[in-house]
A and B are shown apart, each in its own frame.
Chain A
């Protein structure tokens, strides 16, 4: 088990290093810099600015400097927001995105596991078909279609919610719902598949035979095994919820890190781009690692194969 964790950890670190390096050089080899859009910058000021941010040094030197300060946890100053560091901006925006993602994930899990379990237990009844139809819609229709349509219906026509913004609790409802819906669908499919497999097994028959109620059989005995496929999906799902939040944050004008990332890329804000990429990549890899470990813990077969 320890060997398994160590090798996965090394693999993640290597991948993270590749991400940082690739991103660093990719943004530098592109025409245009953070100050090209600025109006009327004289060559002299430009030189001073570049000297101030260390952009006049050779590229390999800048790369090593960046890695050095990164090792100390310093992501550098932002180019577009004067007097602000990338660390500050991230600390500012992440809680918003985390709240949105957390709400969405919670909603996706409750709805997905619920629908999937009902579909498996009441297999081939109208409940099953309804659940799969909802699932199909959720898988097929992307968030940037569902989001604006719901805003049109519930915010503009019915006036129940604000069309955009992030102030009161009501403003959380639509974004979290839209973001979660896309992931409830695959979760319900995986739950249904996993539960169907488990419900055939002998220990379920044993549980029934000893007189446990159907509800208890499902919740206490079947769900643990039946949710195995869901757990391995959670890594990609959380990653998807995070990257999906670019769109949601754009649609609903939420001041989160996703919108900041897209803007920073447009603005050529080198350090902010790198900072957000490192944040996302690190988060996604950590999540995948955690999922691998949980999976190994839940199923000895996986542990032995790893």
Chain B
């Protein structure tokens, strides 16, 4: 039973005892040293706070029109100008951020839940069940999903709940594959054998013993899924299939801006800049987390 090459043991031995740092603490220190990741975290925090708090503090509503004041360039009353109905771009941008970030988080949560459960079951039980479940994933993977999402949105009206479901349904596949391979690696370790020997049930072993040990990859992949989901949401909104006016999302604003950019460039430039900045930041944080948590790539 006491195998000296066991990874858990090796990790304990390699850890300088006097520091007493946990793996998580080390990861946090590594993350903090990564300038791009810190930049990303700060930016995301600022953007989130602005999007949540901004619309409350603003003197305009996101759908409040001012037809005497359409297409105003950025000025003292409207810091980022107004659109074709005289709506304040800054307020619409911040409000749209709520929608975009909200969809990003909610759809990622859907993908996370389905993907982790599916992958864990498939990897833990193995054998024929695993083969069947993974073949299913392979087949779904090979379907042209962007097309299906577009069809779903066109045919079943454009409601936001469906948007979550459609995006979540696309994004869980990769998560399931990652979790499965991780579970298969962890379930062979001795502490799982020990848990079985004590007589714990399968459910308890999966959720209490295996999943906490593969939290690293799950967190990293979740972080990298959020920008992907936000891109998909705005892609659909850009095609006119996602969030509908008078609501706004970053995709909607970019679409509107692109239509009017010839004369009113600010309508495109500011939404595009904020959206790009947020996506870049999310990716920086995701990459930073991967380097900080994933032992394999941090060696590289």
Contacts and interface: CB of A to CB of B under 8 A. Distances in A.
Interface string A137-166: 101111011011101100010000001000
Contacts of B225: none
A30 B143 contact: no
Contact of A246 (B239, B251, B268, B287): B239
A228 interface: no
Interface in A1-41: 11-12, 14-15, 18-19, 22-23, 26-27, 30
Contacts of A12: 142
Interface string B137-159: 01100111011101110111000
B261 A136 contact: no
B142 A285 contact: yes
Given A243-B147, A250-B239, A251-B258, A15 B280 contact: no
Contacts of B300: 196
A170 interface: no
A266 B154 CA distance: 6
Contacts of A262: 150, 239
Contacts of B143: 15, 18-19, 281
Interface stretch (B12-20, B57-65, B109-117, B271-279): B271-279
Interface in A252-266: 261-262, 265-266
Q: Which 9 A-B pairs have the closest CB atoms?
A: A148-B258, A243-B146, A30-B155, A265-B154, A140-B279, A140-B280, A144-B238, A141-B276, A15-B139
Nearest to B238: A144
B130 to A, nearest CB: 15
A231 B100 CA distance: 33
B150 A246 contact: yes
Interface centre among B254, B269, B282 (most CB of A within 10 A): B254
B23 to A, nearest CB: 25
A26 B151 contact: yes
B283 interface: yes
Interface in A60-98: none
Interface in B212-263: 227, 231, 234-235, 238-239, 251, 254-255, 257-258, 261-262
Contacts of A136: 280, 283-284, 287
Q: How large is the interface on B (under 10, 10 to 19, 20 to 34, 35 or more residues)?
A: 35 or more
A284 interface: yes
Interface residues of A, number: 44
Contacts of A250: 239
Contact of B272 (A26, A139, A149, A284): A149
B284 A141 contact: no
B60 to A, nearest CB: 25
A293 interface: no
Interface of B is mostly: helix
Interface in A38-59: none
A273 interface: yes
Interface in A262-281: 262, 265-266, 273, 277, 280-281
Contacts of B33: none
B265 interface: yes
Given A247-B238, A265-B151, A281-B144, A140 B276 contact: yes
A288 interface: yes
Interface centre among B146, B147, B227, B279 (most CB of A within 10 A): B147
B276 to A, nearest CB: 5
A204 interface: no
B265 A152 contact: yes
Given A14-B139, A261-B147, A140 B235 contact: no
A273 B147 CA distance: 10
A142 B255 CA distance: 13
B147 A30 contact: no
A11 B272 contact: no
A15 B147 contact: no
B247 to A, nearest CB: 18
B261 A151 contact: yes
Contacts of A247: 235, 238-239
A281 B151 CA distance: 14
